[in-house]
Structure 1
Protein backbone atom coordinates (compact mmCIF):
# COMPACT_ATOMS: atom_id res chain seq x y z
CA UNK A 1 0.00 0.00 0.00
CA UNK A 2 2.87 2.38 0.74
CA UNK A 3 4.31 1.89 -2.73
CA UNK A 4 0.94 2.62 -4.32
CA UNK A 5 0.63 5.82 -2.27
CA UNK A 6 4.07 6.95 -3.45
CA UNK A 7 2.87 6.79 -7.04
CA UNK A 8 0.53 9.77 -6.64
CA UNK A 9 -0.27 10.61 -10.26
CA UNK A 10 -2.03 8.29 -12.71
CA UNK A 11 0.74 8.72 -15.28
CA UNK A 12 3.33 7.67 -12.69
CA UNK A 13 1.23 4.65 -11.74
CA UNK A 14 0.88 3.66 -15.39
CA UNK A 15 4.59 4.06 -16.05
CA UNK A 16 5.57 2.01 -12.99
CA UNK A 17 3.02 -0.74 -13.66
CA UNK A 18 4.13 -1.02 -17.28
CA UNK A 19 7.72 -1.17 -16.06
CA UNK A 20 6.75 -4.12 -13.87
CA UNK A 21 5.40 -6.01 -16.91
CA UNK A 22 1.67 -5.55 -16.33
CA UNK A 23 -0.23 -5.69 -19.66
CA UNK A 24 -1.24 -2.32 -21.08
CA UNK A 25 -5.01 -2.35 -20.58
CA UNK A 26 -5.04 -3.68 -16.97
CA UNK A 27 -2.27 -1.21 -16.12
CA UNK A 28 -4.29 1.64 -17.64
CA UNK A 29 -7.44 0.63 -15.76
CA UNK A 30 -5.58 0.26 -12.50
CA UNK A 31 -3.63 3.50 -12.82
CA UNK A 32 -6.60 5.70 -13.74
CA UNK A 33 -9.08 4.57 -11.13
CA UNK A 34 -10.19 6.87 -8.32
CA UNK A 35 -10.68 4.14 -5.77
CA UNK A 36 -8.70 4.24 -2.57
CA UNK A 37 -5.32 2.65 -2.09
CA UNK A 38 -6.73 -0.14 0.11
CA UNK A 39 -9.08 -1.17 -2.69
CA UNK A 40 -6.39 -0.96 -5.35
CA UNK A 41 -3.78 -3.13 -3.65
CA UNK A 42 -6.22 -6.04 -3.96
CA UNK A 43 -6.62 -5.74 -7.75
CA UNK A 44 -5.07 -8.08 -10.29
CA UNK A 45 -2.87 -5.37 -11.81
CA UNK A 46 -1.19 -4.48 -8.55
CA UNK A 47 -0.98 -8.08 -7.32
CA UNK A 48 0.86 -9.16 -10.47
CA UNK A 49 3.19 -6.16 -10.37
CA UNK A 50 4.08 -6.09 -6.68
CA UNK A 51 4.60 -9.65 -5.47
CA UNK A 52 6.04 -10.83 -2.18
CA UNK A 53 9.26 -11.90 -3.93
CA UNK A 54 9.73 -8.46 -5.47
CA UNK A 55 9.19 -6.77 -2.13
CA UNK A 56 11.88 -8.89 -0.48
CA UNK A 57 14.22 -8.22 -3.42
CA UNK A 58 13.62 -4.49 -2.96
CA UNK A 59 14.66 -4.79 0.68
CA UNK A 60 11.30 -4.81 2.45
CA UNK A 61 10.99 -6.92 5.58
CA UNK A 62 8.67 -9.94 5.55
CA UNK A 63 6.86 -9.78 8.88
CA UNK A 64 5.10 -13.13 8.47
CA UNK A 65 8.39 -14.97 7.92
CA UNK A 66 10.00 -13.18 10.86
CA UNK A 67 7.08 -14.09 13.13
CA UNK A 68 7.20 -17.73 12.07
CA UNK A 69 10.94 -17.95 12.61
CA UNK A 70 10.62 -16.56 16.13
CA UNK A 71 7.65 -18.73 17.16
CA UNK A 72 8.66 -22.08 15.72
CA UNK A 73 9.69 -23.53 19.07
CA UNK A 74 6.71 -22.26 21.08
Structure 2
Protein backbone atom coordinates (compact mmCIF):
# COMPACT_ATOMS: atom_id res chain seq x y z
CA UNK A 1 0.00 0.00 0.00
CA UNK A 2 2.75 2.43 0.93
CA UNK A 3 4.58 1.90 -2.35
CA UNK A 4 1.41 2.48 -4.34
CA UNK A 5 0.69 5.71 -2.46
CA UNK A 6 4.28 6.74 -3.14
CA UNK A 7 3.63 6.25 -6.84
CA UNK A 8 0.33 8.13 -6.71
CA UNK A 9 1.81 11.09 -4.81
CA UNK A 10 5.04 11.36 -6.76
CA UNK A 11 6.21 14.99 -6.83
CA UNK A 12 7.89 14.61 -10.23
CA UNK A 13 5.06 13.06 -12.20
CA UNK A 14 3.73 16.06 -14.07
CA UNK A 15 0.01 15.32 -13.74
CA UNK A 16 -2.59 17.81 -12.57
CA UNK A 17 -3.63 18.02 -8.94
CA UNK A 18 -7.20 17.04 -9.81
CA UNK A 19 -6.02 13.87 -11.58
CA UNK A 20 -3.72 13.02 -8.69
CA UNK A 21 -6.52 13.52 -6.15
CA UNK A 22 -8.88 11.35 -8.20
CA UNK A 23 -6.40 8.48 -8.48
CA UNK A 24 -5.53 8.74 -4.77
CA UNK A 25 -9.19 8.61 -3.76
CA UNK A 26 -9.91 5.66 -6.03
CA UNK A 27 -7.03 3.70 -4.57
CA UNK A 28 -7.86 4.52 -0.93
CA UNK A 29 -11.54 3.67 -1.35
CA UNK A 30 -10.77 0.41 -3.12
CA UNK A 31 -8.17 -0.62 -0.57
CA UNK A 32 -10.39 0.19 2.42
CA UNK A 33 -13.38 -1.57 0.85
CA UNK A 34 -11.29 -4.69 0.23
CA UNK A 35 -9.83 -4.84 3.76
CA UNK A 36 -12.81 -3.45 5.69
CA UNK A 37 -13.29 -6.62 7.75
CA UNK A 38 -9.82 -6.29 9.26
CA UNK A 39 -9.25 -4.28 12.40
CA UNK A 40 -6.82 -1.66 11.19
CA UNK A 41 -7.59 1.62 12.94
CA UNK A 42 -4.07 2.16 14.26
CA UNK A 43 -2.50 1.20 10.93
CA UNK A 44 -4.73 3.63 9.05
CA UNK A 45 -4.04 6.36 11.59
CA UNK A 46 -0.29 6.13 10.96
CA UNK A 47 -0.80 5.81 7.19
CA UNK A 48 -3.04 8.89 7.21
CA UNK A 49 -0.39 10.89 9.00
CA UNK A 50 2.28 9.79 6.53
CA UNK A 51 0.07 10.40 3.46
CA UNK A 52 -0.89 13.90 4.64
CA UNK A 53 2.79 14.72 5.01
CA UNK A 54 3.39 13.54 1.43
CA UNK A 55 0.53 15.72 0.21
CA UNK A 56 1.98 18.74 2.03
CA UNK A 57 5.35 18.04 0.38
CA UNK A 58 3.67 17.97 -3.04
CA UNK A 59 2.12 21.37 -2.53
CA UNK A 60 5.30 22.85 -1.04
CA UNK A 61 7.24 21.77 -4.11
CA UNK A 62 4.65 23.36 -6.39
CA UNK A 63 5.11 26.71 -4.65
CA UNK A 64 8.55 27.14 -6.19
CA UNK A 65 9.37 30.76 -5.43
CA UNK A 66 9.73 32.41 -2.05
CA UNK A 67 7.25 35.08 -3.07
CA UNK A 68 4.59 32.50 -3.95
CA UNK A 69 5.22 30.59 -0.72
CA UNK A 70 4.91 33.77 1.33
CA UNK A 71 1.69 34.83 -0.43
CA UNK A 72 0.04 31.43 0.05
CA UNK A 73 1.12 31.15 3.68
CA UNK A 74 -0.38 34.59 4.35
CA UNK A 75 -3.64 33.44 2.72
CA UNK A 76 -3.60 30.51 5.13
CA UNK A 77 -3.77 33.04 8.01
CA UNK A 78 -0.13 32.82 9.08
CA UNK A 79 1.44 35.88 10.67
CA UNK A 80 3.90 37.97 8.66
CA UNK A 81 7.04 36.91 10.53
CA UNK A 82 6.07 33.24 10.50
CA UNK A 83 5.29 33.31 6.77
CA UNK A 84 8.66 34.93 6.02
CA UNK A 85 10.48 32.42 8.20
CA UNK A 86 8.84 29.42 6.52
CA UNK A 87 8.99 30.80 2.98
CA UNK A 88 12.73 31.51 3.22
CA UNK A 89 13.54 28.16 4.81
CA UNK A 90 16.18 26.10 3.06
CA UNK A 91 14.89 22.79 4.38
CA UNK A 92 13.87 20.12 1.92
CA UNK A 93 10.34 19.25 0.91
CA UNK A 94 9.92 16.41 3.40
CA UNK A 95 11.12 18.45 6.36
CA UNK A 96 9.00 21.44 5.36
CA UNK A 97 5.97 19.19 5.06
CA UNK A 98 6.42 18.37 8.74
CA UNK A 99 6.73 22.06 9.63
CA UNK A 100 3.56 22.87 7.67
CA UNK A 101 1.55 20.47 9.84
CA UNK A 102 -0.06 23.34 11.76
CA UNK A 103 -0.67 25.47 8.66
CA UNK A 104 -2.08 22.93 6.21
CA UNK A 105 -4.36 21.02 8.53
CA UNK A 106 -6.42 17.87 8.04
CA UNK A 107 -9.49 19.91 7.12
CA UNK A 108 -7.61 21.83 4.42
CA UNK A 109 -6.31 18.59 2.93
CA UNK A 110 -9.84 17.16 3.01
CA UNK A 111 -11.12 20.28 1.22
CA UNK A 112 -8.45 19.76 -1.44
CA UNK A 113 -10.11 16.42 -2.21
CA UNK A 114 -7.93 13.88 -0.41
CA UNK A 115 -10.04 11.44 1.60
CA UNK A 116 -8.81 10.42 5.02
CA UNK A 117 -8.28 6.67 5.09
CA UNK A 118 -9.35 6.34 8.71
CA UNK A 119 -12.50 8.43 8.28
CA UNK A 120 -13.53 6.45 5.24
CA UNK A 121 -12.80 3.17 7.04
CA UNK A 122 -14.97 4.22 9.99
CA UNK A 123 -17.88 5.17 7.73
CA UNK A 124 -17.63 1.87 5.83
CA UNK A 125 -17.45 -0.19 9.03
CA UNK A 126 -20.50 1.52 10.56
CA UNK A 127 -22.69 0.56 7.61
Name the TM-score class by shorter chain.
Answer: 0.7 to 0.9
How many residues are treated as equivalent by the alignment?
Answer: 70
Tell me how large the CA RMSD over aligned residues is: 1.7
Tell me whether 1:63 sits opposite 2:117 in the alignment: yes
Q: Which runs of 5+ in 1 are unaligned?
A: none
Q: Which has the higher contact order (CA 8 A, sep 6+)?
A: 2
TM-score, normalised to structure 2, is 0.49
Tell me whether 1:52 sits opposite 2:122 in the alignment: no
Q: Which runs of 5+ in 2 are unaligned?
A: 1-56
Tell me whether 1:20 sits opposite 2:76 in the alignment: yes
Structure with the bigger percentage of helix: 2
Helix, strand or coil for the counterpart of 1:47? helix
TM-score, normalised to structure 1, is 0.78
Q: Which has the larger radius of gyration?
A: 2
Cα distance in 2, alignment partners of residues 62 and 49 from structure 1: 17
Cα distance in 1, alignment partners of residues 84 and 117 from structure 2: 31
Helix, strand or coil for the counterpart of 2:77? coil
Tell me whether 1:11 sits opposite 2:88 in the alignment: no
Is the 1:22–1:49 contact (alpha carbons within 8 Å) kept by the matching residues of 2? yes
